[in-house]
Structure 1
Amino acid sequence: MDTIVIGGGQSGLAAARSLRNAGLTPVILEAGERPTGSWAHYYDSLTLFSPARYSSMPDLPFPGDGDHYPHRDEVVDYLHRYADSLDVEIRTATRVSAVESDGAGAFLIHTEAGDTLRTAGVVAASGSFGNPHVPDLPGRGSFTGQLLHVADYRSPKHYAGQRVIVVGAGNSAVQVAYELAEGATVTLATRQPIQFMPQMIGGKDAHYWHTTTGFDSLPPQWLACIATGTLVMDTGDYAAALQAGRMDRRPMFTRFDGEHVIWSDGTPEQVDAVIFATGYRPDLDYLRTLGALDASGLPLQVGGLSTTHLGLSYVGLEFQRSFASNTLRGVHHDAAHIAAPMATYASGALAAYGL
């Protein structure tokens, strides 16, 4: 095989499209039963913050009214149709366990089913949903309530009448806390105050401005100078709910103690459940034995191209090359960026230089 793409979600599909357009014949290996990535596993009420017109991938417009905000299941169906529209081989229910060098400039892909595939190039596009981050707070093992990451949260019906803390200051944390507050007593625990950004600016959705002003394409180095923290897209409901006391926000608690959390002022409080909406890390453990990751498990790369192995690249990393890198509307730009060098390597063109 000239190229194997690991992951069949939005990033893997975008990568396969760009590789095919560059003259390669990519094969996608997807761990799930459908080539839709992690979308089907998000919580039931998940709705995109970007309207349909700003949630499309190349060659297939998102269906329906361009101004509506698609539900999780709409995205799943869209990605399935997108996969069907690509002229590439997709092997589902194929989880990669390890990637190794074959010692001759190619790679050996080992699957959990026991198969080994040889390929000239590898695109790691497995996203981050499979690697949720939960901070290791003191006393966590002693907590007798329910403790979970938002990756395992589905709906508020199981928490009616309970005391719930949602840890995090991002979109998922606020959206989940808001819906939980319908029937539970909810606190958002954050290290910094929540920074809201209005969904509508000048009568247009914020994504109109992201795409027309060029903000979407700003490099991460510039974004680090602009954004001092996580921004939460406010539909007009979330900030108002905090101000009205539907849910509250407190500084992060310091530790767990049995059935209690200990707040920063030393006050203990009995809590039924703590939901961590504390983000994800790239799900790339299969590259660890290859030596392509740093000590914390992050890929050693620049702009999606590996700095440790020729023929290895990445698509779908957060802020890989821009603000929109790991979004439906923007991931194809990063996929196109890695396609040409991947094609050069897979074609054997570097052999003329003794490589």
Structure 2
Amino acid sequence: MSRVLVVSTDEQLDCVVIGGGQAGLSAGYFLQRRGLNGRFAILDHAPSSGGAWQFRWPTLTLAGANHVHDLPGYGLAEALGVDCDQWPASTAVADYFGRYERRFDLPVRRPVHVSAVRLVPGRDPDDPRFAVTSGAGPGMPETTLEAATVINATGTWDRPFVPHTPGAERFTGRILHTHDYTGPHDFDGQRVLVVGAGISAVQLLIEIARTATDVEAFWCSRTEPVFADGPFTPEEGREAVARVERRVRAGLPPTSVVSVTGLRRTPAIAAAQADGILAWRPMFTRITETGVAFADGTQLDVDVIFYNTGFRSALDHLAPLRLRSAGGGITMTGRLATVVAAQPRVQLLGYGPSASTIGANRAGREAARVVAEIIDR
């Protein structure tokens, strides 16, 4: 059971949405459609519109990104007015999200850094409410909003995952993550080991190998990626989402959809294979002062170890609610697995099967329905 605390609050709302990316904006749109105007707020810690997209590297275009699904009620092409496939995703999506917020007058507050969500008593013992504590930045006073429901849509960008490997503290070169990537020329004249088996690892390995000057690029991961020919079928997509959903309903940590479906062999990937860029190696077992060592005793000297090993859900602010199950994840329930089983007034968007742009929209609609149902009781 979560501890019940008495917390003085500065404002009372029916719902607080934490996160101003695709899922948070989608939830806000549908909350308005449910008639909750003026009764909810969207708290976004980013400095401006765009969610995690605004922090992506400048060479990532909309065409090169996983598909950015239209937000409900106002599509990307309609908002920007041009064919923008070759625009940098960081600026195009930020522009789109900003226009979307203004068009629907969504109550987004930023920058607001939520530090904790706690359970507090409501007016009725059977009507618990939540104290959402936040601040606008270092040295700024904290404020607390009280809400009947919480929709968490904080995504994963703030939780880059780097697996622990013995010897990392001895390495004299640079250790980076996808989160830190600014462009291929950051690696000019260096030996770079790209680590990871997902689409980001493959795309950035190709970009670095083809664009950086005088670079030597290497690649390794725990499992060797399997490249499949042809597009994903609708059946494959549905099964991938279903497998992730089964995990979170069982209280297990979610896996990525790519880990289920594998990677598609695009023309760029096929060309990189033909040119020897995608020469895969198994994962190293330890890090040395000058590089990495493998299980067979061989070593590879590099200047940069570049992890593209994914992200974890940014949920630290929910820790006071003690939502995690014995399986290591958060047990989810509801029509689209957005409702936390241990605390049904908390919903997680972007966690498990809703961790995609199209999944975020569907989850936003469902989250608003659940909130309205609770408020109307």
Q: How does 1:1-355 map to 2 (within 5 A)?
A: 1-24=13-36, 25-48=39-62, 55-63=69-77, 68=85, 71-72=88-89, 73-104=91-122, 105-112=128-135, 113-182=141-210, 183=212, 184-198=215-229, 201=230, 206=231, 209-210=233-234, 215-216=237-238, 219-221=241-243, 229=260, 231-294=262-325, 298-302=329-333, 303-317=337-351, 319-320=352-353, 325-347=354-376, 349=377
| Cα deviation 1:282-322 (Å, max 9, x = unaligned) | 001000012123479743323010112131111112x42xx
Aligned-residue offset at 1:247: 4.6
What is the rounded CA distance, in whole Å, between the counterparts of 1:300 and 1:147 in structure 2? 34
More off after superposition, 213-222 vs 164-173: 213-222
Stretches of structure 1 that go unaligned for 5 or more consecutive residues are 350-355
Q: TM-score of the superposition, structure 1-length normalised? A: 0.85
Runs of 4+ aligned structure 1 residues displaced above 6 Å come to 50-54, 222-228
What is the rounded CA distance, in whole Å, between the counterparts of 2:239 and 2:368 in structure 1? 18
1:289 aligned counterpart, secondary structure: helix
What is the rounded CA distance, in whole Å, between the counterparts of 1:143 and 1:237 in structure 2? 33
Number of residue pairs the alignment of both structures matches? 334
Q: TM-score of the superposition, structure 2-length normalised? A: 0.80
How well do the aligned residues superpose, as a CA RMSD in angstroms?
2.8
2:142 aligned counterpart, secondary structure: coil
| Cα deviation 1:122-163 (Å, max 9, x = unaligned) | 000000000111100111111111001110111011111111
What is the rounded CA distance, in whole Å, between the counterparts of 2:217 and 2:85 in structure 1? 29
Identity percentage over the alignment?
A: 31
What is the rounded CA distance, in whole Å, between the counterparts of 1:29 and 1:227 in structure 2? 30
1:100 aligned counterpart, secondary structure: strand
Match of 2:251 in 1: none
Q: Match of 1:37, as an amino acid?
A: G
Structure 1 pair 342–68 and aligned structure 2 pair: CA distance change class (3 A): same
What is the rounded CA distance, in whole Å, between the counterparts of 2:43 and 2:31 in structure 1? 15
Q: Match of 1:160, as an amino acid?
A: D
Structure 1 pair 180–70 and aligned structure 2 pair: CA distance change class (3 A): same
- Tell whether the 8 Å contact from 1:311 to 1:346 is kept in structure 2 after alignment: no
- Tell whether the 8 Å contact from 1:242 to 1:249 is kept in structure 2 after alignment: no
Structure 1 pair 66–293 and aligned structure 2 pair: CA distance change class (3 A): farther
What is the rounded CA distance, in whole Å, between the counterparts of 2:63 and 2:243 in structure 1? 24
